[in-house]
Amino acid sequence: MNQLSQTARLWAFIVLAALLPASVSAAPFAAYVMDARTGQPIYKQNADTRLHPASLTKMMTLYMAFNAIERGQVRLDSQFLVSSNAAAEPPSKLGLRAGQRIELRYLIRAAAIKSANDAATTIGENIAGSEEAFAQQMTQMARALGMRNTNFRNAHGLTQEGHYSSAHDMSILGRHLFYDFPQYYNLFSRRSADAGIAQVSSTNRRFLDSYQGADGIKTGYTRAAGFNLTASAQRGNKRLIATVFGGTSTAQRNQTMAQLLDSSFARVPNRVRETRPQAPRLLVQRTVRRAQVEPTPAATQASPQRLVLETSQKPARANRAASASTAATTNQPDALAAAIRQAQTETVNAPAAATAGLALAASARPRLRPGTNAGAVDDAVATAVASADAPQSASLAAPVLAASHRPVPAPRSRGNGSLVASASSNSGTNPDDIARAVAAAIPESGTSLSLMESSAPKPRSETVILAAMGEGDLADPEAVEIVSRPSNSGRNWGVTLGLHRSRAAAEELLMQSALRDGVTLQGARRQVADTNRGFVPSFVNLSKADAQLTCERFQARSYECRVVAPKPAATSTCKGGQCPPFFMCATEVIRLSVHSFSA
């Protein structure tokens, strides 16, 4: 019996050994290693052979998601709708349900760390509208990045006809992920993460834990593709990016990758001139349409133009009454009186037809406005017509002047008070009385209307009074009590964003953050502190709520962030702006709390 069992085990081992080469041959081996600093190849084997990329496809899915975030198309907290197609994707999956809404940040974590197919499909469908449209955009982006042997049919990488890539192309994509989106690259080195509905673990944690300097990027496996891996590792100043297609197992793939990286680290120089990859060109081309206008002879050829000026009518002679009013401005009272008498005489002798032209009998009466007294309007019209037809008045202004009082003469007129008073008591029907009153109002001959009779102003003193101080000004200024505001109110909070090796990197992080979170950081100020350990970027002049919200957003993007509370300020008494050395006035207290953030 024991002999039969041993024979059965032997035959089973032989059958398994015979089937193993067949499974290995289904996934051809390919490898490519490049210097990430320059993009130059170090090792390649079947590097341009078109093979199944498996879940390495999600590297492009994530690249498209990062690009959409940076362009402002979506945000990390955007709610993505899970379709029935995405929910039905086979494992590996996050476990999304159809109709569910989930933030993009959780989908990115699930696709990058757990390699969840349902998360990758949800990303593609919500960014492009459908998985097919998203696959086309992925292929176009691959062409823009220089991936010549790549074509995508889906967002997750499951085997499908026409879905292929190469070890060389995936290494190019890994290099662009490192350089184009350094703010998201640390996602690929996480061993686990919170994906919203579950805590997910990395499919690449074995290689990350076993190989020194490894910090990414992505694994992939299907039966047709075998065990694939695109890895990135750094030792000192050297960084390599390598891709392996067609591994027979996870252990064999990781061992092969470690051997390729070790031999390549020994071959590359320690210091080289870094050459960053060029950013992809815009995929959308702007079309400019120009209107075609046929030229016309009038627009292209100059033709003589004739300008004819017709004879204009002779201007009408000015009214003598206007001449009389102009002459009244002179300083001769006799000439003024004579001009006014002549004008009034001509008005009396004017034919009746000229006066009849002022009658309103022939014109249509306008409609009354709402609330207008019709009886008052009729009385006013009747009075105007009667005064125009009255034979005793030679002037149209006589009825008005008869009912009004003459103005009191100006103080400058001397010796004319009696004449003006007599003219005021007149009924206004005699033109001579009006002329005499006007002549009396004019100063006598030899005088003028100028200000010669007024006294000259006193000359301005050349003495300049710089200051005036009395005995009361010598006293000490009143003491002002300066009390700092509570530390939990106002905009005296801040956040610090970890350590950076260069000031340029710290300032770039502050600028990108200010553009991304413009509403929260609207009134904040950017500062970079130079410390012994490195450069510390920070935002100051924030409220407590804005500081906490800002840190939550940075921590969601895997950035180190710390809320800095304001330092408590002492209460002091300052006199005349002079404070003891250990206190500060109000403005200096606030300034101290702000500068303390960058320490």
Query: Known binding site for substrate: residues?
Result: 218
Cα–Cα distance measured from residue 221 to residue 227, given in angstroms and rounded to the nearest whole number:
5
User: Quick check: is 166 catalytic?
Assistant: no
State the helix-helix crossing angle for 333-348 and 320-327, rounded to 10 degrees: 160
Q: What angle do CA 264, 258, 112 make, to 5 degrees?
A: 110
- What are the structure tokens assigned to 212, written together? 């020194």
Q: What is the dihedral of CA 114, 120, 121, 123, to 10 degrees?
A: 140
Residue 35's nearest CA partner among 207, 276, 205 is 276
Catalytic hit among 83, 92, 93, 115: 115
- What are the structure tokens assigned to 388, written together? 């125009």
Residue found under tokens 């998985």: 131
User: Quick check: is 303 catalytic?
Assistant: no
- Three-state DSSP class for 473? helix
- What are the structure tokens assigned to 27, written together? 């996934």
- Three-state DSSP class for 6? helix
174, 99 Cβ separation under 8 angstroms: no
User: Quick check: is 58 catalytic?
Assistant: yes
- What are the structure tokens assigned to 215, written together? 């910090």
Q: Give the C-alpha distances (Å, rounded to integers) separating 17 from 20, 23, 29, 139, 246.
A: 5, 10, 19, 40, 18
- What are the structure tokens assigned to 51, written together? 């093979």
Residue 264's nearest CA partner among 290, 282, 242, 247 is 242
Cα–Cα distance measured from residue 120 to residue 132, given in angstroms and rounded to the nearest whole number:
13
Binding residues: 218
What residues are annotated to the active site?
55, 58, 115
